[in-house]
Each structure stands twice: as C-alpha cells, then as structure tokens.
Amino acid sequence: MPSAAYFRRQADICLRLAVIASDEEVSNRLIMMAREYATKGAALTRQSGGDALPTDDRAVLAGPEAERDAAPPNGADSAADH
C-alpha cells in the first residue's frame, strides 16, 4: 500500500497541473483529485499516529478558492509571460 507521503506528492502534482491547465473543467477535476489524495494521505497519517493534516494538505482541502487567493494578481505577471 502506498504511504501517506506518496498521497501527499500525488496531491501536489495534481495541484500543480491544475494551475497550468487551460481548461477549467480539467483544472477543477485535478483539484478534486488533489483533495482525494490529500484526504487519503491524512487518513494514513492518522492511522500511524502522526499529525493528521500537514500544513500543505490544509491548503489542498481548503478548496479552489484558497488556491486562487494564494495566486499572485494578474497584474503581477512578469513581462516574459506576455
């Protein structure tokens, strides 16, 4: 069975992909997958007696609104991005 760290890494990968996805439906699905992975990782951590929800996982479970709030404003993009 995969470890809690594995599920946390998978959640992180899904979130990173969600940020760069150009399709909103795909982005939302990736965010949901990240939540599911984070939940599984937290459950495994609880079973092993550790901190049930590491700080990084709290952001995942907070939802897409938290992700958008944490992103820099549109005007903060560098000139190279245009």
The label of the residue with tokens 């560098």 reads 78
Cβ-based burial of 52 (10 A; exposed 0-12, middle 13-18, buried ≥19): middle
Q: Are 38 and 11 in contact (CB under 8 A)?
A: yes
Q: Are 45 and 4 in contact (CB under 8 A)?
A: yes
pLDDT confidence of residue 77: 47
pLDDT tens figures, 20-37:
999 999 999 999 999 999
Whole-prediction pTM: 0.63
**pLDDT < 70 stretches in the chain:** 50-82
Helix (H) or strand (E) holding 43: helix 24-47
